[in-house]
Homo-oligomer: A and B are copies of this chain.
Amino acid sequence: MSVEWKNLDTLDSFKALAKTAPVDLAAVMSGENGAARVKNYSVPMAEGLVYNYAAKAVDDDTLKALAALAKEAQLSEKFEELYNGAVINTGEKRLVLHQLCRGQLGQDVMADGVNKRSFYVEQQRRIAAFANKVHNGEIVNENGEKFTSVVQIGIGGSDLGPRALYLALENWAKTNGKLKMTAKFISNVDPDDAAAVLSSTDVAHSIFILVSKSGTTLETLTNESFVKDALTKLGLNPAKHMIAVTSETSPLAKNEGYLDAFYMDNYIGGRYSSSSAVGGAVLSLAFGPEVFAEFLDGAHAEDVAATETDPLKNPDMLDALIGVYERNVLGYEATAVLPYSQALSRFPAHLQQVDMESNGKSVNRFGEPLDYVTGPIIFGEPGTNGQHSFYQLLHQGTNIVPLQFVGFRKSQIGTDVVIEGSTSQQKLCANVAAQIVAFACGKKDENLNKNFRGGRPSSIIIGDQLTPASLGALLAHFENKIMFQGFLWNVNSFDQEGVQLGKVLAKKVLAHSTDGALKVYSDLLDI
């Protein structure tokens, strides 16, 4: 084992980083120096995206210290171990292979007696074949009619990622003649969720995808039952309308209750499963397998960018390093994700899961308590909507919240209007540019109520257009950033023991085997 797993606060380079002089962001972003920063503090990503960090509170000294930290923390070496098949998920003793779903980065990875890349490719091939048969009418409903809708039943990683990606590409697909089937999602155990989705769905012409790795997720099995009831009430056979995405050892695999089953495995965490069959089935059915393949290609290209060993040329690693600097040196507690793209309306909710579930930990990968803070709170809404909402606090609140903007030069649909001499797309882009500078530089006013102190850091990822490929690169960027941050914090980013206690207690409530406070709450809620 060439790498050493050490706590962040034991690294000399971190101690040196903590001693670097703070940067006066408002000052360095002003005038010609500011213009030069915006030109220089920029790293190309895959698929034409660019990570621009000019409005972060760093300078060449900070960057040098961050580069030293990346080296001492062996970030590149750890990533290499990960993609070559090391047991990075120490808690559950598992490999971490979501990047392998979208391409071979290193050596062959063997597990469970098979070459895992071949396994993932085989699932993609099977999904593609199935989707093509649905689209060309070889697989039809019981009346011989084509399926027109697809409904994903899943929760957490089986819901947030696929849903965010579907919404991100729905209008692109419509505009480019790629929308094969509309997709919907049922997730919450709240019975009104399933009931509402089903009442607005053409059930007879729908394929339902049941997504559960273990085949035992209670919410998902409950919602499956809702769907089966709805099908049965229409005189339809659920087995002719449902497919499963699950592990090969689950009760849903090779089960005659489903048209077909596609497989994932224990090496893909739920929150990282959009690149696997979990995202693949619904996105291939909705947009066609070639669109999903483009998405994977974009993600893989960003993974390749993340293998760059110079942190200043590696957008994912640099983003991670700056984030740790903001969290552990500057002491900021949250990060807002602000895409200036309505198509990315649910992308912040997905990143909220990926980030907070991965790095919201208080112990290191060896189960030892940590003396420093780890993952931040992640939240966000699309701009310009957020500007008319919570930006007040971001601009003038008592705490500083680092910001992650995303913007594209072109819209997806292309329809636009000119009002007051500019298109909506130009207004959208003008707003994100203006916000970056407003947050960084502020503006003095003698009336302190109208004064902007500035010094509020942000970065922006800029792309030409949100397409399957650039969306893949965007998602991989954040997944890789979070992975590198986990390496820096020395946590296991790939388990989630923090969600277990609630599950155990909920079962006790349902079994009426509680006492004390829990019993009284149960009574108050009439359970």
Contacts and interface: CB of A to CB of B under 8 A. Distances in A.
B501 A443 contact: yes
Most chain B Cβ neighbours within 10 Å, of A379, A407, A460: A379
- A contacts with B: majority SS: helix
Interface in A394-453: 394-399, 401, 407, 409, 411-413, 415-417, 419-438, 440-443, 447-453
A16 interface: no
A490 B409 CA distance: 43
Nearest to A388: B156
Given A29-B517, A341-B192, A499-B395, A50 B225 contact: no
A496 B388 CA distance: 9
B384 A155 contact: yes
Most chain B Cβ neighbours within 10 Å, of A357, A431, A436: A431
Interface string A491-516: 01001111111111111111000011
Given A191-B415, A342-B188, A448 B225 contact: no
Contacts of A225: 417, 419
Nearest to A363: B448
Contacts of A431: 189, 502, 506
A363 B453 CA distance: 12
Tally of this chain's copies: 2
A37 B517 contact: yes
Interface string A182-202: 000001111111111001000
A50 B521 CA distance: 12
A327 to B, nearest CB: 10
Interface stretch (A57-65, A241-249, A370-378): A370-378
30 contacts: A35-B515, A35-B517, A38-B521, A91-B449, A171-B192, A189-B431, A190-B340, A190-B342, A194-B424, A218-B420, A219-B388, A222-B417, A333-B377, A356-B393, A358-B392, A360-B397, A363-B451, A377-B393, A387-B502, A392-B499, A394-B498, A395-B498, A407-B525, A409-B526, A422-B527, A430-B525, A433-B525, A433-B527, A437-B505, A440-B517
